[in-house]
Amino acid sequence: MTTTLTTEQRAARPVRNATRAVFFIAGFGMSAWAPLVPFVQLRLQLNDASLGLLLLCLGIGSLVAMPLVAPMAGRLGCKPVIIGGAVLLCLTLPALVLTPNNVSLAIALLLFGVGLGIIDIAMNIQAVTVEKANGRAMMSGFHGFFSIGGIAGAGLVSLLLWLNLGPFWSIVVVDSVIVLLLLLNAAHFLSDRPQHNSEPLFVCPRGKVLFIGLLCFILFLTEGAMLDWSALFLTMERGLDSSKGGLGYALFSIAMTVGRLNGDRLINAIGRYYTLLAGSLCASVGFALAIGVNQPFFTLLGFMLVGIGASNLVPLLFSMAGNQTDMPPNLALAAISGVGYAGILAGPALIGFIAHLTSLKVAFGCVALLLLLVTLSARRVTR
């Protein structure tokens, strides 16, 4: 039996707020892990290479879960899927700081990645549905709450650790926040079940969805480049002290958050084509400025331009994937999310390979050229 909500129910303010809440939960839960990595590394006596291999389990878990979540959300509705993913996050976060050995940490990271992948797909399916019901761009604002959640999660855990609360009890506080947000908003997660049992569990991306997925790969690669290589660029190429190396990514993140919170207004004002065109061009110019002017100030300014330019591009492409007709929207979102996450996983390694053969400047220049491909594709993808 299929449960269908009216357009008015999907567009209601409580549903919009619940959608914002689940994006916040996803960013909050994911970023809470970041400040705990050094504690886990020290407790298990992991070297950098071992830690890097173990952290791959997180991405693998998300990639494995994503193709399976879309049909689950189609057949069960977003509500049980979102709740299930959030519960899995709450269970695996304490496990990450209590695991006694490398094998158990790998399993915990894999399940943590599965939980993140479940929430990621289900929340974007809900967001597309809510955006359609409201008849205006809303996806950038939803993703903005993911960014706010990321800042809040990392900030809260860092503060609690600074107050000597300890990793385990810090995670207990994080879990309590997630559970509270779930209790307040779960009633307004969408329970639509549009997919019939006869529909396929997985469809290979095709047509416009495949094209959108390739663009998402470039944009997720850009975010991965900033996350993994911006600090090294500032310290090795611009001579900043290592204690200030994280400033570039911090400014990038702040710029991206501000851009997303204002993105819906921008898209509604100038349209998707000009948003994609100007945003990708701005990000490309940001990289060019960062590598072209040998001054830390202009490098930091360039990284901010990358954040501002890229801020609304992934939400915009997700929205377009949910509105195309080449394949079921829920399966389309799973497909482009999987391709995007592949960009996050493979991109930094690819940049490292190019940097090893040439230099980090050249590697960043390649990212700038890839962003220009997004610019050149703007007309075709928004038709």
Per-residue model confidence as pLDDT tens digits over 125-138: 899 889 888 888 89
DSSP annotation string for 88-139: HHHHHHHHHHH--SHHHHHHHHHHHHHHHHHHHHHHHHHHHHHHHHHTS--H
**Which of 157, 188, 219 finishes a domain?**
188
| Together in a domain, 160 and 256 | no
Domain count, the chain: 2
Domain end call among 142, 157, 188: 188
**Count of positions (residues) in the chain:** 383
> Based on the domain organization, do 176 and 254 belong to the same domain?
no
pLDDT score for 161? 87
In a domain, 199, yes or no: no
Distance CA 336, CA 10 (A): 24
Q: Residue 58 in contact with residue 32, Cβ under 8 Å?
A: no
pTM of the model: 0.82
Residue ranges making up the domain that contains 339: 207-382
User: In percent, how much of the chain has pLDDT > 90?
Assistant: 40
Q: Looking at the structure, do residues 252 and 312 belong to the same domain, yes or no?
A: yes
Highest mean pLDDT among 36-50, 287-301, 321-335: 287-301
In a domain, residue 194? The reply is no
For tokens 């996350």, name the residue: 227
Q: What is the mean pLDDT of the chain?
A: 86
Residue 373 or 357, more confident: 373
Residue 245 sits in a domain of what CATH number?
1.20.1250.20
Across the chain, how many H-helices and E-strands are there? 15, 0
Q: Are residues 158 and 285 in the same domain?
A: no
pLDDT digit string, tens, across residues 187-209:
989 887 655 555 555 556 667 88
Q: How far is CA 307 from CA 96, 273, 302, in A?
A: 30, 19, 9
C-alpha to C-alpha distances, 9 to 146, 191, 310, nearest whole angstrom: 23, 11, 32
Q: What is the mean pLDDT of residues 114-127?
A: 90
